[in-house]
Amino acid sequence: MDTQNINLLEGREKQVYEKTAGGAEIEIACDKTSLSGSVSQRACVFCGSRVVLYPVADAIHIVHGPIGCAAYTWDIRGAVSSGPELHRLSFSTDLQEMDVIYGGEKKLYKSLVELIDQYQPNAAFIYSTCIIGLIGDDIDAVCKKVAKEKGIPVLPVHSEGFKGTKKDGYKAACHALMKLIGQGSTEGISKYSINILGEFNLAGEAWIIREYYEKMGIEVVATMTGDGRIDDIRRSHGATLNVVQCSGSMTTLAKDMEEKYGIPYIRVSYFGFEDMSKSLYDVAQHFPDRPDIMEKAKEIVRDEIRKYYPEMQKFKAALTGKKAAIYVGGAFKTFSLIKALRTIGMSVVLAGSQTGNKQDYKNLKEMCDEGTVIVDDSNPVELSKFVLEKEADLLIGGVKERPIAFKLGVGFCDHNHERKIPLAGFIGMYYFAKEVYESVMSPVWQFAPRKGGLR
Amino acid sequence: MTTNAPTMTAKTATQNACKLCNPLGACLAFRGIEQCVPFLHGSQGCATYIRRYLISHYKEPIDIASSNFNEETAVFGGSHNLKLGLKNVSQQYKPRVIGIATTCLSETIGDDVPMILKEYEAIMGGAANLPVMIFASTPSYSGTHIDGFHAAVRSAVKTLAVGGAKKNLVNLFSGMISPADIRYMKEILTDFGMPFMLLPDYSQTLDGGPWAEYHRIPPGGTPTSAIADSGCASASIEFSSTLEASKSAAGYLEAEFGVPRHQLPLPIGIKASDRFFAVLEELTELQMPEKYEDERRRLVDAYADGHKYIFGRKAILYGEEDLVISMAAFLREIGVVPVLCASGGKSGLMKKRMLELIPDLEEQGIEVREGVDFVDIEHEAERLQPDMLIGNSKGFTMSKKHDLPLIRIGFPIHDRFGGQCLHHLGYRGTQELFDRIVNTVIEERQKSSPIGYTYM
Ligand code: SF4
Ligand code: SF4
């Protein structure tokens, strides 16, 4: 591949790799902070924390800092709740010049007290943003004080944007959750029980997953954090097994829980028939003394696939031979997507992520076909280049990638936290295939310049 | 009713903000300069969040570079990162202009950006080898997105404008208006046969056609050469009610090069549009082209046809101060009462300017509130019982909860298609707004009527 003509920035060469027969084996560089001046698609530490904790619906989330960070994350995720909806509000201490000069602790304290009085939440999360890290507000002390006064957990989340990458934000969020876990009573929790981790109930996905497990006769103690409730989280250490999706965000929590409470964890994915089925079997296998659980899992898989199979064949017939490019947040998601795309006859020509680690990229390299480009922390210039060069028919990504695809006349599928259609589970695979089909097969692309539509 | 209505709940935290942060406005303005890349000096997150926010409205790729602060940068200063970032962005984007705006973080650590830029210039062998650097200081803890917008426009002029012999040329600083409005303004000036410089012009960069290849910088925007000429213009027109000369581009040109500044409210409604056209007539010594006479006649006709549906209807109006002020005057013109005019901005001038346009403001029971958020507005909505909400998409939750129709105007429009194509200004824009307001009321009447008339 000619990387010369898009002039990859110095310092980024090792984050782009093309798999070729007999090509040089390089180790893809990752876990680096983004290069200054590159238009990274990544966000910040705060974003990572916010993403993980956001769906906790009976807590208030207060962003301590100037207004922007809160304004831009107001009602941003498609995470739905079956009850309270405090997570959909945006609270900020909205620091002004004087607060920056004299410190924002007083304002934070007052804000907290007022908001807790007004909304009566079961807990409060306080996110400290860049500027707080700089002016050095002691948010821990404020949180402690308010927690004592109000009798609810008030949890500081140290998520100063500049102090690392999104991954560090995940850690900060897990850290805050760890403080809740272990606080509640575990009485009455079944031996056949799990927590669902890293599932955020976007478009109701957690409900779909939960139903499968419950049908298998398994108790779900807490979903973290989709449709999340403080009380469930507090007693989640009573579960027998942690089932972790989205490896990046919550493996830390699973590991901490294993260490502290001896709860083992497994990693799963709910995207695509293959991975979804496996995630049911893997959980069932964890309860060997109850063969009925496995039986039930098999039954679910059978029934569900039978239900969607004919439709899927239709999509597959149309999509076979089409090419997809993937650029999503976590690399683990990419694996599932590659498999899911293969089920509908599509190949993958670009596979990238914002936050993959060494092992992820190693796996990706093994999984991908020859000619596939693998990238870490990419930018619009690179992405568009690969999409065009590889003649992709579809790009899978988030809000910031969508206009790149559409400008260039390429189909698109939202696979980020804003989506409104569930893509997880068996039914999710059907929706996914349908969305891909509707975008790739749309007649509008005939007018795209790259299809000769230029006049 | 007086305006001394019960004060809103005293509260410390901002809840569902009715404003955005300073650098967002600057990035938007920079996108309206030809061959310009916006560059945020601060941490990665701000740039990414602002990008995704703008993308949701404009549905266009929006590349904003960042100097990506890390822990060290925050402690030791951003000089190194800024220089490296500028170098990288120059290499990858080959811009002719880089629009640099600070964020809260770089402001707080006190980076002296102009000095860093000078150092950078020296290292790179002089300004001649480099893109033009336009720098705006945009800390969000003082001001909102609209302040950042104006700061960037002013900096652009300050950096580029040169004086000289007067030319037959008018500058139009149109403020934060939609791409469709920008196109309409250009059409008007062209029809007057008046050479003009409109800044910023993102009518194409943020609302363009499909691409065969990725444009690192989308085509379109105000050329730097035109901005340079702005110092020789015969006059500047600046749309804004609250913008002070000391913070505005036109104010700078007046002080520096003696270019007269005509400050006008956004031309929404017949009276305000008349005022705008009158200034154009005066500057060009030409009569308004027949086409606009026609537009005006059609609008007056529509006002007559639609007046009864909307007389006395109550609206809550929110958004940027300038937009709210002009919209309120327009609503008064058609008989709608904007019972609450609210903004997250805090210029301190809103009420004063509104009184100039609506002298009977108090008697009409119109309340003006600065520095409010959506929880405040919602609270007031319960008391004021309006018939409709007029503002950006962010009022949707409130509109749904209280079953109030929402007429979407301004920025951001995240929950409807085509926000960038909405007209607000001049006779044409007013016509569009008027039609939507009347139709909203008709639709409500139709919905609530048990009979279901097909003639309304
Ligand atoms: S730190 Fe300032 S510039 Fe950055 S998002 Fe927050 S308010 Fe906006
Ligand atoms: S200020 Fe910091 S925390 Fe807030 S969005 Fe910007 S980088 Fe993230």
Can you tell me the distance from the alpha carbon of B273 to that of A400, in angstroms, rounded to the nearest whole number?
37
Query: Mean pLDDT throughout B117-146?
Result: 94
Please tell me the distance in Å from A60's CA to the nearest CA on chain B.
11
Within 10 angstroms of residue A401's Cβ, the number of other Cβ atoms is 28
Per residue, what are the HEC states of B6-68?
Answer: CCCCCCCCEECECCCCHHHHHHHHHCCECCEEEEEECCHHHHHHHHHHHHHHHCCCCCCEECC
What is the pLDDT at residue A269?
93
What is the pLDDT at residue B3?
38
List of chain A residues whose C-beta atoms are within 8 Å of the C-beta of residue B110? none
Helix (H/G/I), strand (E/B), else coil: B204: coil
Q: How confident is the model at residue B451 (pLDDT cuts 50, 70, 90)?
A: confident
Q: Do A99 and B141 touch (CB under 8 A)?
A: yes
Closest atom of ligand 1 relative to the A130 alpha carbon? 1
Q: Please list, residue by residue across A167-195, b when 16 or more beta carbons sit within 10 angstroms of its beta carbon and e when fewer do.
A: bbbbbbbbbbbbebbbebeeeebeebbbb
Q: What pLDDT digit, counting tens, does each position of B244-271 carry?
A: 999 999 999 999 999 999 999 999 999 9
Q: Is the pLDDT of residue A246 over 80?
A: no
Nearest CA in chain A to B98: A37
Q: Which of A90, A130, A400 sits opposite B52 (nearest CB)?
A: A400
Cα of first residue to Cα of last residue in chain B, in angstroms, is: 32
What is the pLDDT at residue A42?
80
Query: Mean pLDDT throughout B129-154?
Result: 96
Can you tell me the distance from the alpha carbon of A438 to that of A440, in angstroms, rounded to the nearest whole number?
6
Can you tell me the distance from the alpha carbon of B46 to that of B21, in angstroms, rounded to the nearest whole number?
9
Interacting residues of A444 by C-beta distance below 8 A, sequence separation 6+: none
What is the pLDDT at residue B452?
81
- Phi/psi at A387 (nearest 5 deg)? -60, -45
CB A100 within 8 A of CB B24: no
Q: How confident is the model at residue A361 (pLDDT cuts 50, 70, 90)?
A: confident
CATH numbers and ranges of domains, chain A: 3-30+309-453 (3.40.50.1980), 45-179 (3.40.50.1980), 193-302 (3.40.50.1980)
Q: Which of B17, B61, B66 sits opposite A90 (nearest CB)?
A: B17
Place of tokens 């850290």: A175
What is the pLDDT at residue B290?
97
Interacting residues of A276 by C-beta distance below 8 A, sequence separation 6+: A269, A270, A301, A424, A425, A426, A428, A429
Q: Is the pLDDT of residue B5 over 50?
A: no
Nearest Cα to A236, choosing from A288, A178, A157, A281? A178
Place of tokens 């307001």: B437
Q: Is the pLDDT of residue B10 over 70?
A: no
Q: Do B16 and A115 touch (CB under 8 A)?
A: no
Query: Mean pLDDT throughout A246-275?
Result: 93
Closest atom of ligand 2 relative to the A159 alpha carbon? 3
Residue to substitute from B19, B37, B49, B111, interface A, most A β-carbons within 10 A: B49
Nearest CA in chain A to B371: A94
Tokens of B299: 């609008």
CB B391 within 8 A of CB B437: no
Q: Is the pLDDT of residue B280 over 50?
A: yes
Q: Is the pLDDT of residue A24 over 70?
A: no
Residue to substitute from A15, A36, A97, interface B, most B β-carbons within 10 A: A36
> Is A134 near ligand 1, meaning CB less than 6 Å away?
no
What is the pLDDT at residue B73?
87
Q: Which of B16, B211, B397 sits opposite A449 (nearest CB)?
A: B211
Angle between helices A273-285 and A331-343 (to 10 degrees): 120
Q: Is the pLDDT of residue B412 over 80?
A: yes
- Exposed, middle or buried, B364 (CB in 10 Å: 0-12/13-18/19+)? middle
Can you tell me the distance from the alpha carbon of A248 to that of A246, in angstroms, rounded to the nearest whole number?
6
CB A408 within 8 A of CB B211: yes
Least confident residue range of A195-204, A226-235, A376-385, B274-283: A376-385
Nearest CA in chain B to A112: B13
List of chain A residues whose C-beta atoms are within 8 Å of the C-beta of residue B71? 162-164
> Is B43 near ligand 2, meaning CB less than 6 Å away?
yes
Mean pLDDT of chain A, nearest integer: 91
Torsion angle, CA of B375/B376/B378/B383, rounded to 10 degrees? Answer: 150
CA distances from A244 to A6, A53, A193, A199, A332 (A): 38, 15, 14, 8, 11
Nearest Cα to A182, choosing from A150, A148, A222, A217? A222
Please tell me the distance in Å from A278's CA to the nearest CA on chain B.
35
Closest ligand to the CA of A44: 2
Sign, CA dihedral B333-B338-B344-B345, equals: positive
Cα of first residue to Cα of last residue in chain A, in angstroms, is: 30
Q: How confident is the model at residue A25 (pLDDT cuts 50, 70, 90)?
A: low
CA distances from A292 to A296, B138, B398, B408 (A): 6, 63, 49, 55
- In B72-101, the residues whose Cβ lies within 8 Å of chain A are 73-74, 81-82, 84-89, 91-93
Q: What pLDDT digit, counting tens, does each position of A366-375 carry?
A: 888 888 888 8
Can you tell me the distance from the alpha carbon of A51 to that of A44, in angstroms, rounded to the nearest whole number?
11
Can you tell me the distance from the alpha carbon of B300 to that of B58, in angstroms, rounded to the nearest whole number?
32
List of chain B residues whose C-beta atoms are within 8 Å of the C-beta of residue A107? 12
Nearest CA in chain B to A448: B210
Helix (H/G/I), strand (E/B), else coil: B314: strand
> Is B104 near ligand 1, meaning CB less than 6 Å away?
yes
Q: Do A33 and B86 touch (CB under 8 A)?
A: no
The B65-66 sheet, strands edge to edge: B65-66, B36-41, B97-102, B132-136
Q: How confident is the model at residue A21 (pLDDT cuts 50, 70, 90)?
A: low
Q: How confident is the model at residue A38 (pLDDT cuts 50, 70, 90)?
A: confident
Q: Give the closest residue (by CA) to ligand 2 atom 6.
A: B46
Closest ligand to the CA of A166: 2
List of chain A residues whose C-beta atoms are within 8 Å of the C-beta of residue B68? 33-38, 40
Can you tell me the distance from the alpha carbon of B262 to that of B251, in angstroms, rounded to the nearest whole number?
9
- Cβ of residue B168 closer than 8 Å to a chain A Cβ: no
Strand partners, A219: A193
Q: Is the pLDDT of residue B214 over 70?
A: yes
Helix (H/G/I), strand (E/B), else coil: B3: coil
Give the number of A-B residue pairs with CB atoms closer than 8 Å.
Answer: 240
CB B288 within 8 A of CB B416: no
Q: Do B46 and A161 touch (CB under 8 A)?
A: yes
Tokens of B100: 């640099």
What is the pLDDT at residue A455?
64
Q: What pLDDT digit, counting tens, does each position of A128-184 carry?
A: 999 999 999 999 999 999 999 999 999 999 999 999 888 899 999 999 999 999 999
Q: What is the DSSP string of A176-205?
A: HHHHHTTSS--TT--SSEEEEEEE--BTTH
Q: Name the residue of B104, B107, B141 to mutate for ligand 1: max ligand atoms within 8 A of Cβ.
A: B104
Instruction: Say what the ipTM of the complex is.
Output: 0.93
- In B336-395, the residues whose Cβ lies within 8 Å of chain A are 375, 394
Greatest Cα pair distance, chain A, in angstroms, is 71
Query: Mean pLDDT throughout B136-161?
Result: 96
**If you measure from the C-alpha of residue A389 to the centroid of ligand 2, how many angstroms do you get, rounded to a whole number?**
34
**If you measure from the C-alpha of residue A61 to the centroid of ligand 1, how many angstroms do you get, rounded to a whole number?**
17
Nearest CA in chain B to A400: B52
Q: Which of A37, A94, A399 sits opposite B14 (nearest CB)?
A: A94
List of chain B residues whose C-beta atoms are within 8 Å of the C-beta of residue A397? none
- Phi/psi at B428 (nearest 5 deg)? -70, -45
Q: Is the pLDDT of residue B46 over 50?
A: yes
What is the pLDDT at residue B6?
41
Which value, in Å, is the radius of gyration of the alpha carbons in chain B? Answer: 22
